[in-house]
């Protein structure tokens, strides 16, 4: 049996049971219990990556990082340069302390109008559709530097039809979409064994 770590935000929570099912009998798949949120949360939980020797780590963060603080103050929750630094630090630690194959799941698309329509107060967060791409592009050189395989879920969801796959909240996925994404993640992980 292979050992796999599946680390990530609420998008991971949506597809993780499908990944477990698809890898049943092949791999033991471990995930943190809750939403792993933003890159700062990952920094303070490096044990997710390092406490046990594993074969593959499939991980992501970024949707929380690139969320805008509110309707009028359009600063990111975690600015792009800080996000890149955080991922670089995490990957440096993992490379120094683990021989696991690393797979990065790119930040998935957001349907801006759906997400923003849920909020009415000026202090509520907001999103802009191109922010996922901005963060994905910014972190790409760091992933290459650390020889991390990229599971491009942004492109996968976009090609499969984001409008149909993404729920009314503008961020999360339908049950059918979670099944589709989970099968994709499981197949990518199998290729790294």
Q: What are the tens digits of pLDDT across the range 92-151?
A: 999 999 999 999 999 999 999 999 999 999 899 999 999 999 999 999 999 999 999 999
Cα–Cα distance for residue pair 139/150, rounded to 1 Å: 11
Cα–Cα distance for residue pair 5/29, rounded to 1 Å: 6
**Across the chain, what does the average pLDDT equal?**
97
| Domains detected in the chain | 2-191 (3.40.50.1110)
CB 54 within 8 A of CB 100: yes
Rounded-to-10 torsion of CA 120, 13, 32, 86: -60
Average pLDDT over residues 178-191: 98
* Percent of the chain surpassing pLDDT 90: 96
DSSP assignment of 30-41, as one string? E--SS---SHHH
Q: What is the pLDDT of residue 73?
A: 86
Question: Does 72 score more than 90 pLDDT?
Answer: no
Q: Which residues pair with 56 in a beta bridge?
A: 4, 101
Q: What is the pLDDT of residue 26?
A: 97
Q: What is the pLDDT of residue 9?
A: 98
Q: What is the pLDDT of residue 161?
A: 98
């Amino acid at each position: 049996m292979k050992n796999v770590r599946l680390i990530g935000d609420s998008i991971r929570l949506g597809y993780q049971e499908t990944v477990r099912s698809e890898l049943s009998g092949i791999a033991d798949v471990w995930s943190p219990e809750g939403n792993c949120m933003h890159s700062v949360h990952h920094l303070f939980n490096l044990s997710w990556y390092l406490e046990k020797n594993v074969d593959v780590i499939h991980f992501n963060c970024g949707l929380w990082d690139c969320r805008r603080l509110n309707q009028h103050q359009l600063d990111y929750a975690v600015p792009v340069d800080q996000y890149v630094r955080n991922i670089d630090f995490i990957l440096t630690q993992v490379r120094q302390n683990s021989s696991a194959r690393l797979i990065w799941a790119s930040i998935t698309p957001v349907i801006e109008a759906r997400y923003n329509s849920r909020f009415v107060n000026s202090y509520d967060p907001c999103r802009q559709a191109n922010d996922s791409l901005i963060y994905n592009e910014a972190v790409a050189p760091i992933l290459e530097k650390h020889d991390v395989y990229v599971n491009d879920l942004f492109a996968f969801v976009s090609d499969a039809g984001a409008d149909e796959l993404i729920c009314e909240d503008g961020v999360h996925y339908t049950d059918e979409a979670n099944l589709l994404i989970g099968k994709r993640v499981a197949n990518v992980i199998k290729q790294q064994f």
